Amino acid sequence: MRPRISPLTFTFVLIVGCLTVGPVLMLILGSFSRGIGAFGVFTVEKYIRVYTDPSLPKILLNTAAFTVGSSLFATALALILAYLNIRTDIPLKGLFHLISITPMMIPHIVFATSWVLLLNPSNGILNLLLREVLGLKSSPFDIYSLGGMILVEGLLDLPIAYLIIAPAMASFDAALEEAAWVSGGSKFRALRRVTFPILRPAILASLALVIVRSLAAFAVPSVIGMPGRVYVLTTYIYRLISLGFMPDYGRAAAVGVSVLVTSTVLVYVYRRLTARSERYVTISARGYKPAIIGLGRWRYPLSFLTSLLFLVLIVIPVLVLLYVSLIPYVMPPSAKAFSMMTLKHWNYVLHDPLSLRALRNSVFLALVGATLGILLSTFVSYIIVRVKSAGSALLESLAFFSFSFPGLVIGIGFMWFFVRTPLYATIWALLIGYIATYLPYGIRPLTSTFIQISEDLEEASKVAGGGFLYTFRRIVVPLAIPGIVSGWILMASMFLRELSLSAVLSRPGTEVLAVQILRFADDSLWGQVSALGIVMIALSTTMVTLATLVGKHIGKSK
Amino acid sequence: MGTRSPQHRNGMEIKVSALTKIFRSPSGEEVRALKEVDLTIPANRIFTLLGPSGCGKTTLLRCIVGLEVPDSGEIAIGDTVVWSKKQRIFIPPNKRGIGMVFQTYAIWPHMTVFDNVAYPLQVRRLPREEIRRRVRETLKFVKLEGLENRPATALSGGQQQRVALARALVSEPKVILFDEPLSNLDAKLREETRRELRRFLTELRITAVYVTHDRLEALTLSDLVAVMREGVVVEVGTPLDIYFRPKHKFVADFIGKANFIEGTVESTSEDLIRVVTPMGPIACRRAEGLTPGQRVTVCVRPEAITIDRPGDTSGGTNTFRGRVVSLLFVGENYEGEVAVGKTILAIKTNPAFPIGEGEEVSVYIDPAQCHILME
């Protein structure tokens, strides 16, 4: 009676398939085409040219060092923090939560520029201060280096690593560790021989995911890497499409294919590693209470260190930006600096038509994009959870496929597509690209919400006479509001700060905030960068706060 | 039959023909939950589907309401075919006009009591005033008046159960289905609610299909009981039929404690039928279609057996000598076992009657309560 795949499932398989498989196909076809105007004229010329480029080995080496370096750094730091927070009596535990949600507030490009402002060799504030205080001839730090990139990218990816490792640490049965002590081993030995091996899947998952993220990263490589001539694959691709008279989307696509393949393989590894632990994380409250270890005299020194990290991650970037946005040119804080304070950068930014347009576009994309995105996510997640068919399994794979998409690369895939449509150079091109690339972030919170809603509640509505859409509107959606709100927040904050996809798809008229900041940074207009950065931070903080409040209100009134 | 009850009207007959439902697990295994089930559920009766878990009773209920799609057969409610493999008919649950009370009640936690009950009427886009009136009447009927504006989750288990009932009744369905509605209540409340439900349903005179694995619930609530096993309806009858005159050993066994004594029919001529068994000849109640020499099983409920001091009555009809093997005090009486020859009989005795384990007793079985199974 019923077809194997219902029309509803089929419709969404089609939509999500176009959004995720579509750009990948276009990327591959594009890489074998003669040019963006000669799509479909088969050639392998692009591959030959790009993979025989003598500068490529150095770029691959840089990319490897950058991704692996930031991955190790972020994971190691996350391990220490998670251990301190969950397994010890360290004070100020509230800070850990803040550290884990910061990335939603401070966009990567803003974070990276604030580090440039602190540590660049010519007029980095911290460098200038140290030179003055220590009487040095040259700057002690140079952020424009592989080391600087790893430091900043590692800090940016720390929250992701933390969010993977902390739950694993929390669900860890302390009895295993206690058994090891009882068997005569020292605490450290127990840590090394028992704790870490058990956490290994989480550690490997964190390593894999941070590599994926840093492979796709564009903010740090462009703001920190490019001035120091340290190129990685994303900046290499960006150069192919943005420099010179003729942007070469063919060569960019040919390199992009390898990046995408690498990324997809790593995400596959990550999903395998977390398949068991993460999927039902909301349900598997096993009730283990990990034993808390007393830190003794290390308690305060260690909490000083975590507070310092909090400063470095949140307070200093914001303060530096605020300060630089108010002084005429970059200089260390001093009486003179404070006496010269001016609103001219703010004036400039708030009257600059380009910046204002970028602001409008970004807010539009965040609000409308996140709303459409969450609408799609709600239906897709519902089908994934409730409809048990081959079609829904396919839909799940399709939806999570974009989890491995590096924005810049997939942007090139979209470019090959949009150029052939009237959508090209419109805000809708960005909107579609955003939703496709960030779909998993909307679907994740919703699938776990739907799993928790008893199916009886929907069946009762059907029996009471409600059709599918009526039931969806009156029963399913109201019950899923917490998941919908958190998915919306996640998507909106990501759309507001989106850089890598926009760097490819944004055209005159469709500027967005992050791209505008990148432009200012290219021209070393640090005052403008800072003012716009503060605007961005303020916007995303307001949005997250408002959405959280609205979600709470709805949750209460029901 | 309260004239003020808002749902006073006639229900419809449900006819299930050759219904088969197969569940396929992801690993490809097939479970036949319903096997060619034929069943007629008469209008305006309380009809119970009774059976052990996994017998297919809930699946049958879900097929009737439309939440499960069968693999073959036909279901008709009144004159309307709601599902037919042959005619390719599938009326979705929201168009079948059935009320249902779920095992978990499925009360919507984000709504008030009023909204929960009003929902079926809101779906049908009835005028606001009419919705308010009918919800008020229905809530009054289930004795929940005044609780309209409470969040549904702030109610007790018993009250939630009545909200679920009100929601099922409010749209005046042709048929109302119950899926083990009492299984989430504690024992005392369950008894109370059972009595109340019986009153509601009797007043309504509506076709009600009730699924349970609790034989006591089935016996007290139903006009008719269908006992199911492994996807098949074994037997249909009134509670008294099912209890005292079951046709199948499985039914007799499932519905309550019973002694089964194998034997051979000796004569069918008299008022009573004589069956020769290892413990001696037993006089049984008349049953049709028996011939001398036929192998049968005699079914005797423990309460049909009377225990007495030995000696005085021996030799009479259905009187045997036995020895008490065990006795267990269970509150209102003793449950015990008596050996008559090599046959062990389960018995019940009055605690006031002083006997002890190992004692010789006389055992009398009322012939009117010796029932012959013709399996």
The 10s digit of each residue's pLDDT in A518-544 is 999 988 899 999 999 999 999 988 887
pLDDT at residue number B4:
41
CB of B323 within 8 Å of a chain A CB? The answer is no
Closest-CA residue of A relative to B25 is A388
Q: How does residue B315 score in pLDDT terms, banded at 50, 70 and 90?
A: low
Whether A421 and A501 share a structural domain: yes
> If you measure CA to CA, which chain A residue comes closest to B173?
A464
State chain A's mean pLDDT as an integer. 85
Residues of B with Cβ-Cβ distance to A1 under 8 angstroms: 69, 85, 88, 90
Question: Is residue A361 in a domain?
Answer: yes
User: Is pLDDT of A358 > 90?
Assistant: yes
Residue A139 and residue A103 share a domain: yes
Q: Which residues in chain A are closer than 8 Å to B164, comparing Cβ atoms?
A: 460
Which band of pLDDT confidence, cut at 50, 70 and 90, is reported for residue A2?
very low
B18 SS3 class? strand
pLDDT of residue A425 exceeding 70:
yes
Residue A85 lies in a domain: yes
Q: Is the CB of B67 less than 8 angstroms away from the CB of A459?
A: yes
Question: A409 and A558 share a domain?
Answer: yes
Tell me which residue in B90, B93, B104 faces A463 most closely, judged by beta carbons.
B93
Boundary of a domain, candidates A342, A362, A380? A342
pLDDT of residue A173: 65
Q: How confident is the model over A471-496, as a mean pLDDT?
A: 88
- Residue with token string 């392998």: A44
**With DSSP H G I counted as helix, E B as strand and the rest as coil, what are the percentages for chain B, rounded to 5?**
25, 35, 40
Cβ–Cβ contact B344 with A under 8 A: no
Mean predicted lDDT score pLDDT of chain B: 87
- β-partners of residue B326 are B337
Q: Which residues are within 8 A (CB) of A305 and not within 5 positions of it... i.e. 6 or more apart? A: none
Pair A227, A338 in one domain: yes
Give the model's confidence band at B130: pLDDT under 50 very low, under 70 low, under 90 confident, else very high: very high
Q: Tell me how far CA of residue B113 lies from CA of A208, B118, B324, B363, in angstroms.
A: 50, 8, 57, 58
User: Are A415 and A537 members of one domain?
Assistant: yes
pLDDT digits (tens, 9 = 90+) for A192-206: 777 777 788 889 889
- Tell me: do A524 and A534 sit in the same domain: yes
pLDDT higher than threshold 50 for residue A558: no
Are A312 and A443 in the same domain? Answer: no
Q: Which of A90, A539, A479, A524 is nearest to A299 (CA)?
A: A90
Q: Does A460 touch chain B (CB under 8 A)?
A: yes
Share of residues in chain A with pLDDT > 70 (%): 91
Q: Nearest by CB to B104, which of A454, A465, A478?
A: A454
Most confident segment among A18-22, A127-131, A274-278: A18-22
Compute the average pLDDT of residues B294-322: 83
Chain A CB within 8 Å of residue B123 CB: yes
Dist. CA A372–CA A427, nearest whole Å: 14
Q: A48 in a domain, yes or no?
A: no
pLDDT tens string A148-199? 999 999 998 988 888 888 888 777 666 666 776 677 667 777 777 777 777 8
State residue A301's pLDDT score.
83
Residue A67: give the domain boundaries.
57-199+217-239+294-342
Does the beta carbon of B367 lie under 8 angstroms from any beta carbon of chain A? Answer: no
Asked if A1 lies within 8 A of B98 by C-beta distance, the reply is no
Provide the pLDDT for residue A94.
Answer: 75
Same domain for A180 and A84, yes or no, is yes
Residue A284 within a domain: no
In this prediction, residue A225 has a pLDDT band, given cuts at 50, 70 and 90, of: very high
Rounded to a whole number of angstroms, the distance from the CA of A486 to the nearest CA of chain B is: 18
Q: What is the C-alpha to C-alpha distance for residues A411 and A357, in angstroms, rounded to an integer?
A: 21
- Per-residue confidence at A291, pLDDT binned at 50, 70, 90? low
Q: Is A198 helix (H, G, I), strand (E, B) or coil?
A: helix
The verdict on A484 touching B (C-beta cutoff 8 Å) is: no
A380 and A506 in a common domain: yes
Q: CA B5 to CA B201: how far, in whole Å?
A: 11
User: What is the structure's pLDDT at A373?
Assistant: 96
For the entire predicted model, the pTM comes to 0.80
Is residue A366's pLDDT more than 80? yes
Contact at 8 Å (CB) between A267 and A273?
no
- Indicate if the pLDDT at residue B194 is higher than 70: yes
Residues A337 and A361 in one domain: no
CA distance B67 to chain A (A): 7
Band of the pLDDT at B71, cuts 50, 70, 90? very high
B173 CB near a chain A CB, below 8 Å?
A: no
Domains in chain B (CATH in brackets) are 14-250 (3.40.50.300), 257-373 (2.40.50.100)
The tokens of A234 are what?
A: 């994303």
- Residue A289's pLDDT is 54
pLDDT band, very low/low/confident/very high, at A1 (cuts 50, 70, 90): very low
Terminal Cα-to-Cα distance of chain B (whole angstroms):
40
The answer as to whether A282 is a domain residue is no
What CATH number should be reported for the domain holding residue A107? 1.10.3720.10
Q: Which residues of B touch A465 (CB under 8 A)?
A: 94-95, 97, 120, 123-124, 171
With CA atoms as reference, the chain A residue closest to B68 would be A459
Name the closest residue on chain B to residue A454, using Cα atoms: B106
Report residue A533 CA to chain centroid gap.
17
Distance from CA of B205 to the nearest CA of A (A): 20
Decide if A463 and B171 are in contact by the 8 Å CB cutoff. Answer: no
Q: What is the pLDDT of residue A23?
A: 92
Question: Residue A465's closest chain B neighbor by CA?
Answer: B94
Per DSSP, chain B holds a count of helices (H) and strands (E) of 8, 21
Tell me the chain A residues in contact with residue B67 when contact means C-beta distances shorter than 8 Å.
Answer: 459, 462-463
**Rounded distance, CA A67 to CA A76, Å?**
14
Q: Convert the pLDDT of each residue in A232-290 to its tens digit.
A: 999 999 998 887 667 888 888 999 999 999 999 998 888 887 775 544 333 333 344 55
pLDDT for A555: 58
Close Cβ partners of A526 (under 8 Å, ≥ 6 residues apart):
A113, A117, A324, A329, A330, A520
Q: What is the mean predicted confidence (pLDDT) over A554-558?
A: 54
Q: Cα(B375)–Cα(B369) distance, rounded to whole angstroms?
A: 18
Residues A521 and A445 in one domain: yes
Banded model confidence at residue B83, pLDDT cuts 50, 70, 90: very high
- B49 to chain A, closest Cα gap in Å: 20
Same domain flag for A468 and A447: yes
Count of structural domains, chain A: 2
Average of pLDDT values for A106-119? 90
Q: Please report where in the chains the tokens 């996809």 appear, as a residue.
A: A501
Whole-number pLDDT of residue B300: 92
Quick: pLDDT tens for A35-47: 777 777 788 888 8
| A65-69 mean pLDDT | 96
Domain membership flag for residue A260: no
* CA distance, residue B200 to nearest chain A CA (Å): 20
Strand order, beta sheet including B207-212: B98-101, B175-179, B207-212, B46-50, B224-229, B232-237
**CB–CB contact A467 B108 (8 Å):** no
Residue A278 lies in a domain: no
Distance from CA of B121 to the nearest CA of A (A): 8
Q: Do B119 and A461 lie within an 8 Å CB cutoff?
A: yes
The average pLDDT across B218-246 equals 92
CB atoms within 10 A of CB A310: 18
Q: Where residue B11 falls among pLDDT bands split at 50, 70, 90?
A: confident
Instruction: Tell me, rounded to whole angstroms, the distance of Cα A501 from its chain centroid.
Output: 12
Residue type at position A482? P
Main-chain phi, psi angles of B149, to 5 degrees: -95, 5
Is A167:A160 a contact under the CB 8 Å cutoff?
Answer: no
Q: Do A463 and B119 touch (CB under 8 A)?
A: no
> pLDDT tens for residues B13-29?
999 999 999 988 777 78
Nearest-CA distance from B47 to chain A in Å? 19
Long-range contacts for B134-137 (Cβ within 8 Å, ≥24 apart)?
B134/B6, B134/B170, B135/B166, B135/B170, B137/B6
How many cross-chain Cβ pairs, A to B, lie less than 8 Å apart? 71
Residue A113 lies in a domain: yes
